[in-house]
Structures are given as C-alpha cells and as structure tokens.
A = this chain, B = another copy of it.
C-alpha cells in the first residue's frame, strides 16, 4: 500500500467530493491531503510539498485558477503537476487549452476509474522522475517492478529485504539508526527482536554479492557504493 511515494493535495469545497477522491487515491497507495478552499490549499501545499495538486475551479474565495496562478509564482511549485476539477457546464476553452498553468483537467461527475487512471498516467508521463527507478551507481532499484538491477542482472529480494535496501539507498551515505529502520520498514506498532535487522542486512549482502552496506557500530547502517 505504501508503494507509491507520491503526495497529492486536493482542494474542493464539497466534503463529499474530497472524501470520494481521497478514498480512491489512498486505495491506489497515494498519500492524500485535502483543503476546503484556495487559501487552505496554498497553505497545505507549502507545508506538504505535494507532487500533484488537484483544484476545484469553482470554490468560494479564490477560484482554482487564481490559486493555480498564485502557486505557479512560487518556484517550489513550478514542477508540481496541477490539474483542475470542473463541472461540465464551465468547461471553457480557457481550461481546455490548459493555458492556465495547469497540466490537465477532470470534469465532474468524477468516475473513480477515470480519476485514478488519469492521475497514474500523469505521474507516469509528466513527472520528471518518469520511472520510479532509483539509481545508485551500477545499482538500480526499481520500485515499480520490485526488482534490483545490478550490472544488467535482475536480483530478486524478498519484501523486507527490498524495503530495507530501498530505504538505505534512498539516501546514500546517510547512516540510518536501527530505530529509524524499524519505524520505516516495520512500522511503529510491530516489535521485533534485536537481531532481525542484522539477518536481513546479511541476506541483502549475500544476494547482492556487493559490499554496499556499511555497518556503523553502535549507530546503524548506511548504503554506500
């Protein structure tokens, strides 16, 4: 479920719409934030730095278009995907032409399937990070295909091993404390013994045949090529 590392902010004045969209996108594995109006959307955007922002065009206070223009003024949001939600009735050329700084638009009523497929395809086609592949030297970590590629060879890791390696490799050089690792890979509720991490680290080292994980005694582990 937490496979997609993408944040989406939705702004709409109708709570029902917010919930429907939230439900469907969370089911897809996205992290969802919501806002009731343009001002709130801008605040949330600055706070959470979403990868995609969905703005209802007709909102009390600032319209979606005004909100979009304000967001685009901020360099932090030049690369953010912005899409509009519009009722069929106000589907003007302006929105159709996407001259508003938005990347796409959706018409209400929203079909969950269309919503999800559009969002997915936007991430797939527009996002600068087109593939969810993490490159670290000769090593590629493909979250989508759930495989490791080392020198062209596919290496298959079990889930915990994969998540653990992906975490470490997400910030090469950074030392992850054992606690951080436990929280990120196992979650906060699960309690496992002391040696569990070690065993998984060992399996990764074994399968990769590559000395890329360094032990920092008394502290944690780090990934380095």
- A-to-B contact residues, CB < 8 Å: 1, 3, 23-24, 27-29, 79, 81, 88, 93, 96-99, 101, 103-105, 107, 111-114, 116-118, 120, 122, 125-126, 130, 144-146, 158-159, 173-175, 177, 179-180, 183-184, 188, 216-219, 222
Asked whether A117 lies within 8 Å of B103 as measured between CB atoms, the reply is yes
Say what secondary structure dominates the interface of chain A: mixed
- Residues of chain B contacted by A146 (CB below 8 angstroms): 175, 216, 219, 222
- Residues of chain B contacted by A116 (CB below 8 angstroms): 125-126, 183-184
Asked whether A219 lies within 8 Å of B159 as measured between CB atoms, the reply is yes
Q: How far, in whole Å, are A111 and B68 apart by their CA atoms in the complex? A: 14
Q: How far, in whole Å, are A101 and B96 apart by their CA atoms in the complex? A: 18
Q: How far, in whole Å, are A180 and B96 apart by their CA atoms in the complex? A: 30
Task: Rank and list the top 3 A-B pairs by shortest CB-CB distance, nearest first.
Answer: A159-B218, A146-B175, A145-B173
- Residues of chain B contacted by A173 (CB below 8 angstroms): 144-145
Asked whether B103 lies within 8 Å of A114 as measured between CB atoms, the reply is yes
Minimum CB–CB distance for A211 against chain B, Å: 15
Nearest residue (CB) in B for A222 is B145
- Residues of chain B contacted by A97 (CB below 8 angstroms): 96, 105, 107
Minimum CB–CB distance for A57 against chain B, Å: 14
- Residues of chain B contacted by A158 (CB below 8 angstroms): 217-218
Q: How far, in whole Å, are A24 and B126 apart by their CA atoms in the complex? A: 11
Nearest residue (CB) in B for A2 is B130
Asked whether B29 lies within 8 Å of A177 as measured between CB atoms, the reply is yes
Q: How far, in whole Å, are A175 and B132 apart by their CA atoms in the complex? A: 12
- Residues of chain B contacted by A88 (CB below 8 angstroms): 99
Asked whether B113 lies within 8 Å of A107 as measured between CB atoms, the reply is no
Asked whether A98 lies within 8 Å of B125 as measured between CB atoms, the reply is no
- Residues of chain B contacted by A125 (CB below 8 angstroms): 116-117, 120
Minimum CB–CB distance for A114 against chain B, Å: 5
Of B24, B29, B114, B122, the contact of A188 (CB 8 Å cutoff): B24
Nearest residue (CB) in B for A93 is B96
